[in-house]
Amino acid sequence: MIPVRSHSPIFALAFALAVALAVAVSALICPPHANAAERATPDRLVRTAVEGVISAVRADPAASAGDQARVVAVVRRQFLPYTDFARTARLALGPAWRTANPAQQQQLVEQFRTLLVHTYALSLSQLRGQNVEFRYTPVQAGANADDVVVRTRVIAAGDENQIDYRLRRGVDGWKIYDINMMGAWLIEVYRRQFGDIVARDGVDGLIHYLSQHNARQAGGR
């Protein structure tokens, strides 16, 4: 996902994941302001999270016109509160996370969160106005479950994709921390790539790699 080259398989996969998430947004039919009871369930939280993003983008003239910086700001404001990308970063780093000191861990979380925000914002900017059909499957889980998967299917331009969202329940409720498309979980994809970079360049090398990529993304808006 990190290399800028569009033909990179990892970049293409991660971009597809974000595109699929953004496509699903435009077909959601839940009310813009879901109540607390709705947000308390994982399936409702997914719907509320993505609906809030698309509603905010449409309400912002600059963002709806494709201003990437404004779209990024909307994603940070409207989507991040429903996610636990710090957990995503920890799991994606795997054993390397335990070798990083607290300052390095903080930098890794910040850079990884920025990477995901930029990718999602890019997908939103490129999918304005598309018509899609969204099929949603409620979660079947026990009352005591603390880790669940919300399954969805998205149909757009004759193509159908399955997208799964993994959420974990913590002290502040359910949070999205992983996404699956066509059998590829986001954490697994990054774990392979990050592991290669850490093995070659160490934790500081990965931080540098992420920061340089994020700087290029920001500069290219």
Rg (CA), the chain: 17
The answer to whether position 152 is within a domain reads yes
Number of domains in the chain: 1
pLDDT at 98: 94
The answer to whether position 5 is within a domain reads no
Model confidence pLDDT, tens digit, residues 146-165: 999 988 777 767 778 787 88
Between 126 and 20, name the one with better pLDDT: 126
Model confidence pLDDT, tens digit, residues 54-66: 778 888 899 888 8
- Is residue 24 scored above 90 in pLDDT? no
Round to whole Å and give the CA distance between 94 and 191.
Answer: 7
Instruction: Give the total residue count for the chain.
Output: 221
- Is residue 8 scored above 60 in pLDDT? no
Round to whole Å and give the CA distance between 168 and 145.
Answer: 9
3-state helix, strand, coil in the chain (%, to 5): 60, 20, 25
The answer to whether position 124 is within a domain reads yes
Burial of 13 per CB tally in 10 Å (0-12, 13-18, 19+): middle
Q: How would residue 126 be classed by pLDDT, with cut points 50, 70 and 90? A: low
Domain extent for 35: 11-214
Burial of 173 per CB tally in 10 Å (0-12, 13-18, 19+): middle
Q: Of all helices (H) and strands (E), which one includes residue 163?
A: strand 159-170
Q: How would residue 36 be classed by pLDDT, with cut points 50, 70 and 90? A: low
The answer to whether position 199 is within a domain reads yes
* pTM more than 0.85: no
For residue 47, the domain's CATH number is: 3.10.450.710
Buried b (16+ CB within 10 A) or exposed e, 58-76: eeeeebbeebbebbbbbbe
The HSE-up count of residue 3 (CA atoms within 13 Å, CB side) is 11
The answer to whether position 117 is within a domain reads yes
Q: What is the mean pLDDT of the chain?
A: 78
The answer to whether position 3 is within a domain reads no
Between 209 and 30, name the one with better pLDDT: 209
The least confident of 73-82, 128-137, 162-171 is 128-137
